[in-house]
Structure 1
């Protein structure tokens, strides 16, 4: 999908926001939903998606909603850092398939990084164990 396609209301994140597909929640308020990535690149990989928008990427996010959404991204990143104490933290977002985007609803990745550990492949491999993700989500949510 390029930067010029239409928003698909049946994308997996839109379905999660509507409660049609389960996820392991970290934060759920009127602005954003944060949840554990089912295909984590590292332990604690968390995604933050905005609510009440049909923005496929950052370029389409309404300006008036950007500030509150980015506050949630920061809040979740701080909680991931406090809960997991990684050596570093990647906060990233992709715009269009050529840039690496695989789900076309705006989302930020928060990925803990530890010295000497390689990242797993983006959006690939086997899904993580749900109980393990719930444990990580509980640890992170405790700092929100």
Structure 2
């Protein structure tokens, strides 16, 4: 299949496919006599794996490590499990950060509710490093 067909099958732009080839995440396909890339089902499967892992937030280096492990079918899968647990901890950290952000924005939103003039706006005051905004 062509790069366009691979892209359509996996929801991936051709530029991204070429990038994954360049960095070794996706093996370079054989070329046709017209020098076009000729992708096969293995490329579809591998690129589908990469897309799903990226959708779950895995960094490219972790995806690369998981692919290297997957290429060794007789190995125990404990290393992949450890990579997934590490990603889970990272997601939990991000969720905690987002919860703190939500709480702070909620606190700010409830400080004013349009009751004050801009000169007395508690949100502007809270967001300003020294409690005041310099005009420009």
Fold shared per TM-score above 0.5: no
TM-score (norm 2): 0.25
TM-score between the two structures when normalised by the length of structure 1: 0.24
Relative to its length, the structure with more strand (as a share) is 1
Question: Where is the helix percentage greater, Structure 1 or Structure 2?
Answer: 2
Relative contact order higher in (CA < 8 Å, ≥ 6 apart): 1
